[in-house]
């Protein structure tokens, strides 16, 4: 074990080939089996999200897909990203989507027109893209293994240090972008309300004029 | 862990989101599919960052930093997108993106009923909007 680690640190260029000798396709580790099972759940939930005809169920299956992705991040030892995923996606984005569904008066039951007419074309495009991407990715990374032993690669300590040492300027720019998005969302919703009020006043004036 | 597992899962999730964007009719369902695509990209970023942080001597953890930035931008995008969808719903009474064909060029492929109603209503709305903008 120490010999393999020493060899790995000595020759970084040959790490993947050396690792390929110790790993096998037909002997998956426990982490790989867990990743595969959670990945199947995630993918199934994503498929149900884009195919179900009940709009609220789509949002709830999206919770399952995003939570499964958070578990995948945990299995990849990226803890901080996993909890950020849980907080932001499962906590706020899905709640926002549910609010949007309710504010646009989405039907509760099955809605027959959830899918548009170009469904076969979309299916063909998605299947072609999936086939191409999966083929290219498996062909490119056939002999590449992630080393998950040792300290976690994405603990809060590591992520915070790299974020505030090397990525401070993008971080601050992102805070400005979030502020702009906040103001933009408020302006958009306020303007719509003012429009509705002025339109109501216009129609009232019009009807009074015709009378 | 084999790198193909997260890469293949990310590709499949991205294509699921692609199908949803192309096939869905409700604007909020399209936004959900966009979220799926963004999450697929995040999984790729995290997986490759974990792989490269082990093989490289010194790392900036650029993958995880970019994943955090993508999550923040996705949160901003969903807020703005929902505000736009709600504004469209208030103005048009629908969040059906197949019926929002005001900027479509050429012949009108949809029926005459949507043509008449879709013409009359936006005309008055844009007129009112212009009047308010000049006032």
Q: Which of A81, A97, A117 sits opposite B32 (nearest CB)?
A: A97
User: What mean pLDDT is predicted for residues B128-134?
Assistant: 44
Chain A residues within an 8 Å CB radius of B86: 100, 103-104, 188-189, 192
Identify the residue with better confidence: A86 or A4.
A86
Max avg pLDDT among A78-92, A100-114, B93-107: A78-92
Helix, strand, coil percentages for chain A (3-state, nearest 5)? 75, 0, 25
A119-140 helix and B4-23 helix, angle to the nearest 10 degrees: 170
Enumerate residues 6+ apart whose C-beta is below 8 A from A158.
A151, A152, B61
> Cα Rg for chain B, rounded, in angstroms?
21
The CA distance from A173 to A10, in Å, is 39
User: In the structure, what pLDDT confidence band is assigned to residue A63 with cuts at 50, 70 and 90?
Assistant: very high
User: What mean pLDDT is predicted for residues B49-66?
Assistant: 85
Summarize pLDDT for A67-98 with one digit per residue, the tens: 999 999 999 999 999 999 999 998 899 999 99
Tell me what ipTM this predicted complex has: 0.78
Chain A residues within an 8 Å CB radius of B18: 122, 125-126, 129
> Do the beta carbons of residue A115 and residue B30 sit within 8 Å?
no
Q: Which of A29, A106, A198 sits opposite B1 (nearest CB)?
A: A29
User: What mean pLDDT is predicted for residues A33-58?
Assistant: 93
User: How many cross-chain Cβ pairs, A to B, lie less than 8 Å apart?
Assistant: 295
Count Cβ atoms within 10 A of the Cβ of residue A76 and give its class: 0-12 exposed, 13-18 middle, 19 or more buried.
Answer: buried
Cα-based distances in Å from A69 to A93, B44, B70 = 15, 11, 15
At residue B103, the pLDDT reads 79
Q: Which of B24, B39, B83 sits opposite A116 (nearest CB)?
A: B24
């Amino acid at each position: 074990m120490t010999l393999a680690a020493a060899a790995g640190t000595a020759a970084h260029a040959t790490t993947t080939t050396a690792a390929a000798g110790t790993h096998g396709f037909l002997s998956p580790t426990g982490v790989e089996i867990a990743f595969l099972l959670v990945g199947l759940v995630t993918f199934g939930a994503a498929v149900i999200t884009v195919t179900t005809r009940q709009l609220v169920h789509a949002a709830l299956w999206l919770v399952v897909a995003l939570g499964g992705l958070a578990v995948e991040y945990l299995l990849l030892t990226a803890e901080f990203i996993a909890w950020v995923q849980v907080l932001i996606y499962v906590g706020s984005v899905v709640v926002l989507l549910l609010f949007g569904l309710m504010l646009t008066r989405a039907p509760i039951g099955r809605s027959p027109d959830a899918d548009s007419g170009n469904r076969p074309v979309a299916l063909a495009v998605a299947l072609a893209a999936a086939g191409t991407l999966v083929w290219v990715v498996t062909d490119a990374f056939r002999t590449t293994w992630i080393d998950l032993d040792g300290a976690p690669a994405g603990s809060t300590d590591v992520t915070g240090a790299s974020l505030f040492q090397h990525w401070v300027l993008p971080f601050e720019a992102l805070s400005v972008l979030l502020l702009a998005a906040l103001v933009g969302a408020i302006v958009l919703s306020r303007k719509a309300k003012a429009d509705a009020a002025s339109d109501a006043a216009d129609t009232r004036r019009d009807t009074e004029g015709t009378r | 862990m084999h790198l193909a597992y997260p890469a293949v899962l990310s590709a499949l999730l991205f294509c699921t989101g692609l199908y949803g964007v192309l096939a869905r009719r409700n604007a909020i369902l399209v936004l959900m599919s966009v979220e799926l695509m963004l999450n697929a990209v995040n999984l790729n970023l995290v997986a490759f960052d974990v792989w490269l942080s082990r093989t490289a001597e010194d790392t900036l953890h650029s993958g995880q930093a970019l994943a955090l930035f993508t999550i923040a931008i996705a949160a901003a995008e969903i807020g703005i997108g929902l505000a736009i969808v709600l504004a469209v719903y208030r103005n048009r009474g629908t969040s059906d993106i197949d019926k929002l064909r005001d900027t479509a060029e050429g012949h009108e492929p949809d029926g005459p009923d949507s043509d008449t109603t879709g013409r009359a209503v936006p005309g008055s709305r844009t007129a009112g909007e212009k009047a308010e903008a000049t006032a």
